[in-house]
Amino acid sequence: MKQFILFFALSGSLFSQTTDSLFLRFVIPERDTLQYGAYRHRIAASTNPTSKAFINYKEVKVYPTGAFVGLHYLTTDTSVLHIAVVGVNGDSLTKDFVFIKPAQKIYPADEVYIENVSSPSEDMWLTAGDIL
């Protein structure tokens, strides 16, 4: 019986250590560097419920489950997202993400460019009344 109580006491302390330790898990974004065409991107992550979370140095709410969310607006061609969590004892974890907007293809106004169109087998000419 003493062995069972000792095991129970040790397992309880191990459980409290793992829940008290600081961690940072991401759902979105999935990678460190992303090419993204939209002007905003969602952030979803989790940490210890007693920790404070910061997205680009602004504090966000950490829910009782440890989850926190945010929205990052892309302002330049290369945008950096900085996420940090700070534990109750002062330790911290940080993670940076880089968002890269791909270059837009710009065509002159007097040219028409159609991608992925196969050429006809013979020359074709449009005449009056033909609908393209």
Share of the chain above pLDDT 90, in %: 27
Q: Band of the pLDDT at 1, cuts 50, 70, 90?
A: very low
Task: Confirm whether 119 is domain-assigned.
Answer: no
Q: What distance in Å separates the CA atoms of residue 91 and residue 9, rounded to the nearest whole number? A: 26
Residue 4, in any domain of the structure? no
Q: What is the tens place of the pLDDT at every residue in 51-63?
A: 999 999 999 999 9
Check residue 29 and give its pLDDT.
Answer: 77
Angle among Cα 95, 27, 24 to the nearest 5 degrees reads: 40
Residue 13's pLDDT band (boundaries 50, 70, 90)?
very low
Domain of residue 52: give its range.
Answer: 23-100
55-88 pLDDT tens trace: 999 999 999 999 999 988 877 788 888 999 999 9
- Residue 22 pLDDT greater than 60, yes or no: yes
pLDDT given for residue 79 in this prediction: 84
Q: Is 35 in contact with 41 (CB distance < 8 Å)?
A: no
pLDDT at 2: 41
Q: How many domains does the chain have?
A: 1
Pairwise pLDDT comparison (11 vs 32), residue with the higher score: 32
| pTM of the full structure | 0.60
Question: Which residues face 82 on adjacent strands?
Answer: 96
Which pLDDT score is estimated for 8? 37
Instruction: Evaluate whether residue 126 is within a structural domain.
Output: no
Asked if residue 7 is part of any domain, the answer here is no
In a domain, 11, yes or no: no
In-domain check, residue 83: yes
Task: Please check whether residue 126 is in contact with residue 57, taking contact to mean a CB–CB distance below 8 angstroms.
Answer: no
Q: What is the CATH number of the domain that holds 76?
A: 2.60.40.10
Q: Domain for residue 106, yes or no?
A: no
- The answer to whether residue 129 sits within a structural domain is no
